[in-house]
């Protein structure tokens, strides 16, 4: 749903082109938030002047009930929360009561809305930036200096190849570790579960991350390739073991129609399920790369 339609249904005004509301002194912005790799939904974004600690998040989650929330960094670290609409995108007494409950949870936790320049802390600002869909009041010079420093740091990181070999090696180890549950599921239960395949790229990515090399924009793609190699290796190893159990080579076994049919069917299923696993995990991986960092703060470059 387009944000203009959302604003119209909720009777919201626009602040610098962003649908904006307010509840008990807490401004909120309606933004499109990714809930997986390709799907975005409208959510309410509240931005605070400090990092949300575990007790804050727990209190907010209790207030919203089963509704999905996401903690995000809007210039400051982990200082914003995206909250999904509970009673549909429309004005209603239930929606208003929901907002009141959420605002009361903020107040009870001593949370205050960000109403000063997040870079220098002064309240008198001379500009604004749109960051992660939220309007942030800033000093123009502060925002530009921060973005320049961030860009220089990210570019320096992208040029670094320190620990790259180590990280790629650990990415392979992580992918193998992620494939173990699939191996157990296939061998002992003769069952293939698509969700398990997300463990392979995630295991590979966190193995790479553990190696402490720069998390460049191409890392998720490299992890996907490594994951594919591991899945194909596992598939060929399993069918080679089956052939060896029958006392013949894999090449000879593939000449048997039923064996060849099962081999191809399982191969396609493995590749399809890995594709689903990569689709599920891609956003989680990409958001931790240097490319995502630059994109997240691109709104500061005004």
Strands (E), 107-244: 127-131, 134-138
Q: Are residues 88 and 24 in the same domain?
A: yes
Structural domain that includes position 71: 3-137
Q: Are residues 131 and 212 in the same domain?
A: no
Separation between Cα atoms, residue 98 and residue 46, nearest integer Å? 14
Q: Are residues 32 and 91 in the same domain?
A: yes
> Per-residue pLDDT for 222 more than 70?
yes
- Whether residue 143 is contained in a domain is answered as no
**pTM of the predicted structure, to 2 decimals:** 0.74
Query: pLDDT digit string (tens) for 106-138?
Result: 999 999 999 999 999 898 899 999 988 899 999
- Number of domains into which the chain is organized: 2
Backbone φ, ψ for residue 262 (5° rounding): -65, -40
Express as a percent the part of the chain with pLDDT over 70: 99
Q: Are residues 118 and 208 in the same domain?
A: no
Min mean pLDDT across 98-112, 186-200, 210-224 is at 186-200
Q: Which of 137, 152, 183 is the last residue of a domain?
A: 137
- Whether residue 56 is contained in a domain is answered as yes
pLDDT of residue 36: 65
Query: pLDDT digit string (tens) for 244-266?
Result: 988 999 999 999 999 999 999 99
- Whether residue 302 is contained in a domain is answered as no
Q: Are residues 177 and 229 in the same domain?
A: yes
Query: pLDDT digit string (tens) for 17-73?
Result: 899 999 999 999 999 887 766 678 899 999 999 999 999 999 999 999 988 899 988
- Whether residue 94 is contained in a domain is answered as yes
- Whether residue 300 is contained in a domain is answered as no
pLDDT of residue 241: 92
pLDDT of residue 155: 86
Q: Are residues 126 and 227 in the same domain?
A: no
Query: pLDDT digit string (tens) for 261-276?
Result: 999 999 999 999 999 9
Backbone φ, ψ for residue 246 (5° rounding): -85, -5
pLDDT of residue 150: 86
pLDDT of residue 202: 94
- Whether residue 142 is contained in a domain is answered as no
Q: Are residues 131 and 188 in the same domain?
A: no
Element at 80 (helix H, strand E): strand 80-84
């Amino acid at each position: 749903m387009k944000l203009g339609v959302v604003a119209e249904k909720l009777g919201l005004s626009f602040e610098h082109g962003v649908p904006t509301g307010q509840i008990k002194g807490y401004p909120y912005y309606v933004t499109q938030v990714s809930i997986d790799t390709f799907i975005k939904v409208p959510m309410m974004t509240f931005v605070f002047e400090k990092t949300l600690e575990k007790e804050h998040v727990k209190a907010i989650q209790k207030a919203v009930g089963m509704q999905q929330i996401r903690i995000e960094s809007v210039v400051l670290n982990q200082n914003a929360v995206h909250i999904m609409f509970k009673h549909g995108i429309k004005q209603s007494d239930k929606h208003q009561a929901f907002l009141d409950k959420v605002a009361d949870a903020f107040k009870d936790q001593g949370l205050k809305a960000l109403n000063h320049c997040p870079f220098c802390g002064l309240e008198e600002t001379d500009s604004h930036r749109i960051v992660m869909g939220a309007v942030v009041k800033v000093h123009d010079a502060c925002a530009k200096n921060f973005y320049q420093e961030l860009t220089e740091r990210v570019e320096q990181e992208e040029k670094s190849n320190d620990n790259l070999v180590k990280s790629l090696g650990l990415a392979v180890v992580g992918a193998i570790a992620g494939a173990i549950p699939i191996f157990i599921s296939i061998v002992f239960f003769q069952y293939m579960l698509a969700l398990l395949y997300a463990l392979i790229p995630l295991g590979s990515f966190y193995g790479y991350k553990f190696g402490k090399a720069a998390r460049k924009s191409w890392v998720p793609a490299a992890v996907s390739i490594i994951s594919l190699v591991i899945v194909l290796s596992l598939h060929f190893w399993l069918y080679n073991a089956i052939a060896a159990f029958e006392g013949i080579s894999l090449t000879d076994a593939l000449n048997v129609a039923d064996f060849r049919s099962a081999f191809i069917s399982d191969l396609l299923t493995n590749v399809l399920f890995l594709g689903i696993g990569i689709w599920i995990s891609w956003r989680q991986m990409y958001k931790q790369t240097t490319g995502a960092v630059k994109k997240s703060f691109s709104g500061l470059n005004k």
